[in-house]
Structure 1
Amino acid sequence: MTRIIPGVEIQVIKEIVPQQLNPSGVVALIGTTEKGEALVPTPVSSYAEFADKFGSSDSFTVTKEAKQAFQNGVFQVVVVPIAGQDGARATLALKDRKGRDTVLLTAKSSGEEGNNISVKVEAPEGAETVTLSITDGTNIEIYDAVSMGPAGDNLVDAINRKSRLVTAEEQRSSGKSGSNNPVAAEGTLSGGKTGVISKADFEAALERLEAEPDVDMVAACDVTDPEIHALIDAHCLKMSMDAKNRIGLGSVGRNEPIAEIVKRTNVLASDRFVIVAPYGITGAVAGLISRLNYYESPTFKAIAGVAKLEKKYTPSEEMEMLKAGVMPLEAQKGRGIVVVKGISTSKEQISVTRIADHAVRGVKSVSDLFIGTLNSPDGRSALKGKITEFLMRMESEGALVPSVDGKEPAFLVDVYSSELDFAQGIVRVNIAVRPVRAMDYIYATIKVEV
């Protein structure tokens, strides 16, 4: 606008500030749980919260892995329960005065655990309300002075709003207040059956995880099947195409021979998958990696909460596994149980992959804010400046380093658009980064003077 009357014109320009990146170290655990709705990803930030939402019974596969992960300082766990095929939840139908089903109670716990829930209905003669108590032997819930009155303020609504043990479903339309009240009775839910876990259940769980942007590690609890490991690896590769970079974790089998362990990596050599040996410590390793900064290597870092390894490997066996891309752990005097070398099945260091993932997420986060503003040299220069600023921060953290001789910088950035690109609305960003690597070997030369 051209001003006619003398004065001051002010324009306020908001500087583009990149959003904070999603936290690294969020672990998704897939497996069976004592309770909780199947195939619903649920984040928990402590083991107490996990036990409250999913139970603490060690007979379910997620419980042990979650406990190990929290003992080792995991940032957050996203639990994806799976129930398996042909499984069923326990139920109990409450009867009215005429012997008709009036309320159907269904256990929130999947499988046979729901068969432990007992229910007692107290219905005083002539009263328009009843008292209902529900217990699983540990927890007890009491619903006092409730009735099958109007929807929104009746027994069914009260249970669905407050209960942690069961859900309720009205079997008959409520008429006059109290007309469909359950009669006095005692009973136990029945019909709960644990389903058979299959490959399809893990596929469904991984599909649900695609909508969870914060997750950057995925583990199938207590699963040693190479086919399931391959599914997780494929999921991680797919998510990395959209800058939702993830690393999968899997375990060797119980007392699995070294020859069989080595065969695993012949068909699964990936930067995106880690096989942990021996059996039974995947959750602890996930927690350890989560606790570390994204640029730190788990090599020679100790895990907590594990008193004894399932199997002790000899140095030659460890060497065979390392050459095959398996990450072994061993007990060392004065150190505890430590990771021998933090590598994936492609033999790449885990920390290098995590640094690259962090760079990818950061560059995407910055670039998203510039869409629609890059049709001028100033806009493209601003994008380059913000990306450079982000990578400089990574360098200051020690994640990116220049070459040892100082001739190569820690990173390079170029933002450009050719004539054809410009006509198609395309801006290209070329980036080269040098992630810091763990220094795993020390060679000492000793000079002896005589």
Structure 2
Amino acid sequence: MTRIIPGVEIQVIKEIVPQQLNPSGVVAMIGTTEKGEVLEPTYVSSYSEFVNKFGAGQGYTVVRDVKQAFQNGVFQVVVVPISGMNSEKASLILKDRKGRETVKLTARKSGEEGNNIAVKIESEPESELVRLSITDGANFEIFENVVMEPTGEQYLVDKVNGRSTLVTATDLRSSSKFPNNNPDNIEDKLSGGKSGAISKADYEAALDKLEGEPDVDIVTACDVTDPEIHALIEAHCMKMSIDAKNRIGLGTVASGESIKDICERTKVMASDRFALVAPYGNLGAVAGLISKLNYYESPTFKPLSGISKLEANYTPSEQMELLKAGVIPIEAQRGRGIVVVKGISTSKEQISVTRIADHSVRGVKNITDFFIGTLNSPSGRNALKGKITEFLMQMEREGSIVPSTDGKEPAFLLDVYSSEMDFAQGIVRVNLAVRPVRAIDYIYATIKVEA
């Protein structure tokens, strides 16, 4: 509208400001736990929180690795418990005052965890009311004045199934007449809970759950040395990179595995998306270290915490063989402690380079998502190019991307354009090239001696 009366017209234009990237440093750990909901990804920010939610019992695969990860500064861990497809739930059958079966209590969670649930029934012989107490040691549930009369408001089965987080109740239809069909006094524990044999399908199911967790940077299967499971993790990481949810898988060699057998592993899986750690027993520490570092920092020669000794001490020649095969060797060095010799993936690419590329992909994806529907004009496309340039310049200031040493090649090249055919189809293209900084692993010294 053209103004007739002199004055000032104000037009407010909202600038598109992309959201910040999800925090890096989140490690997903798949394995067995003492307790916790099976196949339910759960975030924990400290080892004490992990123990509270999942327990610290011996023999469960996640415990050692998650402890090592927190000792080495991990930002956050996503735990995905697995228990095996053929696991069984613990249960307890309550008998009534005539000795007949009247109620079956079944643990809500599968596995041995249910065997820790204790049940106590208290009632007076002449009373129609029963007091039911249930505990697993950490949680206590009390059901006052319940009965086995299905039509009553205090029906035991309805109360337990509606309120209990530990067990479910099933009415076994005792032939005794009320109130003799009420449970008799007892103090006992549930039994029969056991974990099934962990299979490849369990890890596949856990990885499927992780697809919905965009914050994850690193994926590990705790205490797993099976190459088939490692291949599943690598395939998962490759799949997630298609949608800019870039992540890297970590695996460990087996206890006592020979150098020859370790090197054979990488012949069938050379990938930028998977790294293999040797010797056995240090997977969680390496995952924690990588997650703690800035995305552009290399784990090479960085010390590991919480490890007092290594299962195997590789000689320099053995370390050379492992590095040539694309394996991360761990070494105890005098004055440095236990360090990562070189942070590489099974393709022999530096992990830091892959993480820099991943960061640039995530950043560009994060920015471009907010410009969809605004790129119909050259000014809109220029605005997109400006925002991406701003992001890349920040990466250059951080030192994650660098120009060539002779100064002839810039740290990044960027072009945002749309051809006539692209424009007709609603397509805008972003061409981007970045130069990730590489870890300086070798120093060559020239010494001049003047006699």
Q: 1:311 to 1:12 in 2, by over 3 A?
A: same
- Matches of 2:76 and 2:444, distance apart in 1: 39
The residue aligned with 2:365 is 364
- Matches of 1:256 and 1:190, distance apart in 2: 38
- Matches of 1:122 and 1:285, distance apart in 2: 52
The residue aligned with 1:51 is 51
TM-score normalised per structure 2: 0.92
Q: Deviations for 1:198-241, whole angstroms, at most 9, x for unmatched residues?
A: 11111111111111111111000100011111110000000000
Please say if residues 91 and 107 of structure 1, whose CA atoms lie closer than 8 Å, have aligned partners that are also in contact. no
Q: Which amino acid aligns with 1:278?
A: P
The residue aligned with 2:117 is 117
Matches within 5 A, 1:52-131: 52-95=52-95, 99-102=100-103, 104-106=105-107, 108=109, 110-127=110-127, 129-131=129-131
2:155 corresponds to 1:154: no
In the alignment, structure 2 segments of 5+ residues that lack a partner are: 148-152
- Matches of 1:169 and 1:117, distance apart in 2: 14
- Matches of 2:32 and 2:3, distance apart in 1: 71
Q: Deviations for 1:388-428, whole angstroms, at most 9, x for unmatched residues?
A: 00011111111111111111111111000000000010000
The residue aligned with 1:320 is 321
Please say if residues 413 and 430 of structure 1, whose CA atoms lie closer than 8 Å, have aligned partners that are also in contact. yes
Question: Over aligned residues, Cα RMSD in angstroms?
Answer: 2.2
Please say if residues 84 and 197 of structure 2, whose CA atoms lie closer than 8 Å, have aligned partners that are also in contact. yes
Q: 1:150 to 1:21 in 2, by over 3 A?
A: farther
Please say if residues 21 and 361 of structure 1, whose CA atoms lie closer than 8 Å, have aligned partners that are also in contact. yes
- Matches of 2:182 and 2:133, distance apart in 1: 15
- Matches of 2:145 and 2:396, distance apart in 1: 64
- Matches of 1:199 and 1:224, distance apart in 2: 12
Q: Which amino acid aligns with 2:253?
A: V
Please say if residues 67 and 283 of structure 1, whose CA atoms lie closer than 8 Å, have aligned partners that are also in contact. yes
Q: Which amino acid aligns with 2:333?
A: Q
- Matches of 1:168 and 1:50, distance apart in 2: 26
Matches within 5 A, 1:207-246: 207-246=208-247
Stretches (4+) displaced over 6 A: 177-180
Q: 1:103 to 1:420 in 2, by over 3 A?
A: same
Q: Which amino acid aligns with 2:251?
A: G
- Matches of 2:393 and 2:442, distance apart in 1: 28
The residue aligned with 1:299 is 300
How much has 1:139 moved relative to structure 2?
Answer: 3.8
The residue aligned with 2:281 is 280
- Matches of 1:157 and 1:123, distance apart in 2: 22
The residue aligned with 1:40 is 40
The residue aligned with 1:387 is 388
Q: In terms of mean alpha carbon deviation, does 85-94 or 210-219 score higher?
A: 85-94
Please say if residues 72 and 288 of structure 1, whose CA atoms lie closer than 8 Å, have aligned partners that are also in contact. yes
Q: Deviations for 1:71-114, whole angstroms, at most 9, x for unmatched residues?
A: 11111111111111221121123345574534523153x42343
TM-score normalised per structure 1: 0.92
Please say if residues 93 and 101 of structure 2, whose CA atoms lie closer than 8 Å, have aligned partners that are also in contact. no
Q: In terms of mean alpha carbon deviation, does 190-199 or 148-157 score higher?
A: 148-157
- Matches of 1:178 and 1:426, distance apart in 2: 75
User: Which secondary structure does the structure 1 equivalent of 2:384 belong to?
Assistant: helix
- Matches of 2:62 and 2:134, distance apart in 1: 26
Q: Deviations for 1:249-295, whole angstroms, at most 9, x for unmatched residues?
A: 00011110111000001000000000000001101100000111111
- Matches of 2:77 and 2:95, distance apart in 1: 41
- Matches of 1:150 and 1:11, distance apart in 2: 66
Please say if residues 25 and 217 of structure 2, whose CA atoms lie closer than 8 Å, have aligned partners that are also in contact. yes
How much has 1:182 moved relative to structure 2?
Answer: 3.7
The residue aligned with 2:171 is 171
Q: Which amino acid aligns with 2:388?
A: I
- Matches of 1:227 and 1:350, distance apart in 2: 22
- Matches of 1:199 and 1:142, distance apart in 2: 37
How much has 1:49 moved relative to structure 2?
Answer: 1.1
Please say if residues 147 and 178 of structure 1, whose CA atoms lie closer than 8 Å, have aligned partners that are also in contact. no
Q: 1:58 to 1:103 in 2, by over 3 A?
A: same
Q: 1:180 to 1:336 in 2, by over 3 A?
A: farther
